[in-house]
Amino acid sequence: MSKSFDLLKPYLDKSAALDMALSALSFDFDTTAPKKAASYTHQAMAILSKESYDALMNNQVKELLDKCLNEDLTTKEKAIVLELQKIYDKLIKIPSELYNENRKLEREAQLAWEEAKEKSDYSIFQPYLEKIIENQKAFIKYREDDQLKGYDVLLNDYEPGFTVEVLDQFFELLKKEIVPLIEKVKNKNHKIDTSFLNRDFDIEKQREFSSWLANYVGFDLSRGIIKESVHPYTTQLHKNDVRFTTHYYKNQLDSAIYSTIHESGHAKYEQGIADNLTLTLVGSGTSMGMHESQSRFYENCVGRNKNFLGPVFNKLKETFPHQLSDVTLLDFYKAVNKFEPGLIRIEADELTYSLHIMVRYEIEKRIFNGEVDTVHLPTLWNQMYQEYLGVTPKNDAEGILQDVHWSGGSFGYFPSYALGSAIAAQIYDHLQSLMPIQEMLTTGDFDKIDEYLQTNIYQFGKTKTTQQLLKDMMNQSFDSSYYIKYLKDKYHAIYEEEE
Ligand code: ZN
């Protein structure tokens, strides 16, 4: 073992311990803490957060890091050191004055965005967005190198290897294939009835069902818990304490079902990290896109599959015999797969979701190419929604102001959502070539699927990149054609039956 790495380890451990405490506090705050806890709790959390930052960002650590880079390291040590270097690079290249000024700006911008959304008035947010973009452009200039220029610098923060060149091909294919597909099946939409999902479903019973469902798809409840929050998410203290939230609506049965399966997919990934990686810098999912691929694999490829729904729907009927007495499996299957081009990304169905992302990607690209100014963004947004989804926002709140991301300077983040769906479809196709997936889903036997994901994805944490994982798994890199084929096959089958 390398000597410098041994000296570095206590710093890393301290930072990990503080981060763990912060995760616990933050989850507690979102799910359990009383309403008025905010100011004092946040005060304490800010102190812990600074401690965690200082534990890594200091001269001793920097010196050890530089030494480690020139020493013989194990694969795991090397991955940790490179991860630490990435964090350093990102911060060190940006002058601290500008960095701090920008953090302040983002806090103000967030408040401006909230007010603007509330009043549906983009002009309140526009000057802040302008300044945020200006800062992001300055950050790019400081961080650019021989390989990464412009918008690619930001994309690389979330999804290394997925540059504008790769994403352009991906979204072009979506535009060419999915936009016409939507047009084609749109007319048949009215025949699918979803009204039974809006009957009265007792929340306590939904809770029991969610717990059963999470366990059914392989979330280990002896190493995890489920709570509730408005926006469902997954977090982990370490691999044996993985927590996620879901939400229940009395008159929207599918909402909890699919947020529970989605988060179970994220949570299983975190529970599957190798023992020797948890609580290190590489002890969680490798990228946002890969994480999202695991949640969407369960939510969509598995969760909306007719074979999978067989036993699940039986259990659901047992739980709600009265409300679902006149509903068949086929009714249910069609209802949870119905598509409807809409205005709001987070309410979008499987077929149209990626088009919402395409709008955001194209706008971000134009922003960083200097092709559009912030004043004209709402017009551009509305035009794109009309062109790709056939709908036009009536106001800014349901248009350009709907997402919080840009107010926090998160540019380059959105594509990962769409990549997640596409990667899930590619893995799903691969699994079908290896094992009788449909039979397994029919009987609810997930052992082989779990074992495969565990062996080929989960355990590695951040020690392999997304592209590496895909290459090692199927001897090919990311390929979006699987996703297109998956969507076409699926929606043709659902909507053809109507004829
Ligand atoms: Zn997710």
- What's the number of CA atoms in the CB half-sphere (13 Å) around residue 224? 26
Taking the centre of ligand 1 as the mean of its atom positions, its distance from the CA of residue 6, in whole angstroms, is 35
- Rounded to the nearest angstrom, the distance between the alpha carbon of 247 and the centre of ligand 1 is 14
| Tokens representing residue 86 in the block | 């990435």
371 alpha carbon to ligand 1 midpoint, in Å?
31
Cα of 415 from ligand 1 centre, angstroms? 13
Tell me the whole-structure pTM to 2 decimals. 0.95
Nearest to 115 by CA among 413, 411, 407: 407
* Contact status, residue 348 vs residue 396, Cβ threshold 8 Å: no
The predicted structure's pLDDT at residue 92: 85
Give the whole-angstrom CA distance, residue 158 versus residue 480: 18
The residues near 392 (Cβ < 8 Å, ≥ 6 apart) are: 382, 385, 386
Alpha-carbon distance of 133 to 139, in angstroms, equals 10
The alpha carbon of 257 and the centre of ligand 1 are apart by a number of angstroms equal to 14
CA 3 to chain CA centroid, Å, is 38
- Spatial contact of 412 and 148, defined as CB atoms under 8 Å apart: no
What's the CA gap between 279 and 499, in Å, rounded?
Answer: 55
Hey, is 367 helix, strand or coil?
helix
What pLDDT, on a 0 to 100 scale, did the predictor assign at position 499?
Answer: 44
Q: What is the DSSP string of 245-302?
A: EE---TT-HHHHHHHHHHHHHHHHHHHTS-TTTTTSTT-S-S-HHHHHHHHHIIIIII
pLDDT, one tens digit per residue, over 37-90 is 989 998 999 999 989 989 999 999 999 999 999 999 999 999 999 999 999 988
| Residue-level pLDDT at 380 | 98
262 CA distance to ligand 1 middle (Å):
6
Contacts of 167 (CB under 8 A, 6+ apart): 155, 361, 415
- 263 flagged as catalytic: yes
| Residues 65 and 81: beta-carbon distance below 8 Å | yes
Q: Ligand 1: distance of its center to the CA of 181 in Å?
A: 25
Calculate how far, in angstroms, residue 441's C-alpha sits from the geometric centre of ligand 1. 22
- How many CB atoms are closer than 10 A to CB 65? 20
Distance 206 CA to ligand 1 centre (A): 21
φ/ψ (deg, to 5) at 224? -165, 165
Question: What is the spatial distance between Cα 498 and Cα 297, in angstroms, rounded to a whole number?
Answer: 26
Ligand 1 centre distance from Cα of residue 265 (Å): 8
Amino acid letter for position 427 = I
| Cα 218 to averaged position of ligand 1 atoms, centre (Å) | 17
CA distance 156 to 387: 28
Q: Specify whether the CB–CB gap between 359 and 388 falls below 8 A.
A: yes
Amino acid 89: pLDDT: 87
DSSP readout, 442-456?
Answer: HHT--HHHHHHHHHH
**SS3 of residue 121 by DSSP:** coil
Annotated catalytic residue, options 83, 159, 263, 362? 263
d(C-alpha 460, C-alpha 463), whole Å: 6
Residue 374 CA to residue 127 CA, distance in Å, equals: 8
CA of 417 to the centre of ligand 1 (A): 8
Please state, in angstroms and as integers, the Cα–Cα distance from residue 476 to each residue in 382, 420, 426, 459, 479, following that order.
Answer: 37, 17, 10, 20, 8
Distance 61 CA to ligand 1 centre (A): 33
116 CB neighbour count, 10 Å cutoff: 23
How much is the pLDDT for 231?
Answer: 87
CB-CB contact of 407 with 102 (8 Å) = no
- Residue 66 Cα to ligand 1 midpoint, Å, equals 35
Low-confidence ranges of the chain (pLDDT < 70): 1-2, 497-499
Q: Which helix (H) or strand (E) holds 46?
A: helix 38-56
